[in-house]
Structure 1
Amino acid sequence: MMPILVIAAIGIGFAALVAFAVTAITPGSQNTAAEDRLQALATRRPKGGKAGEDEPSLLLAGGLDDTKNWASAITSSMPALGTYMDQANVSMPPAQFIGICVAAFAAGTVAVSVTPGVPILLAPIAGLITGATPLIWLKMKRGRRLAKFGRQLPDALELLGRSLRAGHSLAAGFGLIASEMDEPISIEFGRVFQEQNFGIPLEEALDDMASRVPNMDVRFFATAVILQRQTGGDLAEILDKIGHLVRERIQILGQVQALTGEGRLSGIVLLAMPPLLFLVMLWMNKEYVMTLFTDSIGQKLLIMAIITQIVGALVIRKIVTIKV
């Protein structure tokens, strides 16, 4: 039974690596950031068109590049992953990222399968851990980027307000933020500036930025700018007030994080303790731990342990997460 499982795992790993290689080298998946941005702009449908212009042309429907592979066709139906990667500022195509996850899963499974003395039943668990590693990295990168954007937003609004008082236009203020401030806020405002240069309406460009950056303060800013353009008013003063509110909210959020730090640390310790004890017992007394896999009652207990771990993680997260 063992050789069959090892051969099957090696075959799956080899197929995954081949699929990843095909995805990586197939034309159409190596566009630069500028090409991807131009393709996104080219596939837009103009709003408010005349009668007879409801259907986009074949050129716009196909975008700027018609060389699509099978992986791109699959990931085109998964817009959430592309948006998630865009929020993390990962220029890798979604199909290639999925290929990396599959290859990592296969590598972890094969590594545990061919390791002597390790139970074969741990191979899928190791594969899930290694396969989830790229997703965890993506989530952490996205979280750090969005957090940094939130910290930079008050300074950007202050700079934009000073630019308006100096007599510059709103578009020039966006360009000033893109050139003077650091990433990631310079990239997002730079996209708005470029979209306006391409002829995209300001309302649509701001709505796109609010969609790319899931931040409540950004949506407040976009709504304020759109309303000011429709009703009038002192935009510089509005931006100053929004910036002040954002600073106050960030300060309160920092206080909340400090107060809930003990709960988060306790949750990490409680969630990490059972897997670590499992590995220690596996190293000290393998036969004792294997009862969980060979006995029917042990299998049920193992499933219940995994379920309670997940429920406990969700409960702890709910307790220590306070929205401000």
Structure 2
Amino acid sequence: MAPLLIYGLVFIGVTAITGVIFFILGEGTAKTAERLDLFTGRKKKDDEATTILKKTALDRDKKSLLAALTPNVPSLQKLIVQADANITPSTFMVISLILAALGFTASWLAGVKLYLAPLLGLLLAVIPFAWLMHKRSSRLKTFASQLPESLELVARALRAGHSLAAGLHVVAEEMPSPIADEFNRVYEEQNLGIPIDEALKSMTERVPNLDLRFFVTSVCIQRTTGGDLAEILDKIGYVIRERFRILGQVKALTAEGRLSGVILMALPFLLFLIMLHIKYDYVEKLWTHPLGVKMAVGALIMQLVGALVIRHIVNIKV
């Protein structure tokens, strides 16, 4: 490849990345400056309202450049909310695309064969999604572990004569994040006039936890039919703790199977990397020869089927 073409590609890539970074930072700075102007009085609310009324339909539907250039993925937005990640879907997609482009370009410039370069790009593009799923999973696990104690706090507040909203406020004040943040949001929403039932249902959308759904359903039914909500919450907390105890026993009994599954899944890829380093021409047949390609595809399919079977065996729901 001509050196001039290589330099041109590197220049275009660096310029694009720098432009995206400055665009993201500039958008946040503009919003901050606008809020400061409104707070200090340099920009009046009446003027802002007048400006809004004068906007055309195109201005009202105006979106940022990132949002316009990236697809709107509702499931991605939902994952970001559940993970409590401070990032927009459009920015997230741009980061993934940049990593994919960097991986492809680096592989190409390193002399890797053209049909293998997309693999590194795909691996780098998956990194933000893996980070998001890990952050979401960690947050949901922490929330689930904090829920029994939080329900007990609400039950104690109810027995002390406080309202349900006051009990939620106690959890927001006494418990750590993330459950404190979610309960505080419910408390603030009902203070703003949103029915507490609707605020609780919104929380179940942000936190897809089965035990939390039991709690919200119990509150909704109790507010309709009546009953001792404190006793109901105590029983729900007891059931959750017992389920955690049984789940721990199940994990201990299935630890050997899960470890075997991890080893069996990692062993073929580890051997592939070792053979790739020791005898490259031997492994090269897997993607240069038609029969080798079929063998590699068949091995990957069987590997996937085996992973699903092992996961089905050791994944015991409690």
**Equivalent-residue separation in structure 1 for 2:269 and 2:100 (angstroms):** 19
2:263 equivalent in structure 1? 269
Q: CA deviation at 1:18?
A: 6.2
CA contact 2:101–2:121 (8 Å) conserved in 1:
yes
Q: Does 1:201 align with 2:160?
A: no
Q: Is the partner of 1:167 in helix, strand or coil?
A: coil
**Equivalent-residue separation in structure 1 for 2:150 and 2:163 (angstroms):** 15
1:102 to 97, 106, 119: 97
Give the 3 Å change call, closer, same or farther, for CA 301–310 of structure 1 in structure 2.
same
Q: Is the partner of 2:181 in helix, strand or coil?
A: helix
Give the 3 Å change call, closer, same or farther, for CA 189–310 of structure 1 in structure 2.
same
Q: Flag structure 2 segments of 5+ consecutive residues without an equivalent.
A: 36-52
Give the 3 Å change call, closer, same or farther, for CA 141–166 of structure 1 in structure 2.
same
CA contact 2:70–2:94 (8 Å) conserved in 1:
no
CA contact 1:26–1:69 (8 Å) conserved in 2:
no
CA contact 1:6–1:113 (8 Å) conserved in 2:
no
Which residue identity is paired with 1:255? Answer: Q
2:107 equivalent in structure 1? 112
Higher share in helix: 2
Which residue identity is paired with 2:64? Answer: N
1:229 equivalent in structure 2? 223
Query: What do residues 70-126 of structure 1 show as CA deviations (whole Å, max 9, x unaligned)?
Result: 43246673221111111111021111111121122222222222225x444332222
> Alignment identity in percent?
49
TM-score by length of 1: 0.81
Greater relative CO, 1 or 2 (CA 8 Å, sep 6+):
1
Which residue identity is paired with 2:240? Answer: V
Which residues of 2 match residues 1-324 of structure 1 at below 5 A?
17=17, 20-21=20-21, 24-25=24-25, 27=27, 68-73=63-68, 77-116=72-111, 118-324=112-318
Q: CA deviation at 1:315?
A: 1.8
**Equivalent-residue separation in structure 1 for 2:67 and 2:213 (angstroms):** 31
Query: What do residues 148-205 of structure 1 show as CA deviations (whole Å, max 9, x unaligned)?
Result: 1111100000001111111211111111111110111111111111111111111111
Q: Count residues with an aligned counterpart.
A: 296
Give the 3 Å change call, closer, same or farther, for CA 76–235 of structure 1 in structure 2.
farther
Q: CA deviation at 1:14?
A: 5.7
Decide which moves more: 230-239 or 14-23: 14-23
Q: Flag structure 1 segments of 5+ consecutive residues without an equivalent.
A: 36-57
1:53 equivalent in structure 2? none
Give the 3 Å change call, closer, same or farther, for CA 66–222 of structure 1 in structure 2.
same
Which residue identity is paired with 2:295? Answer: L
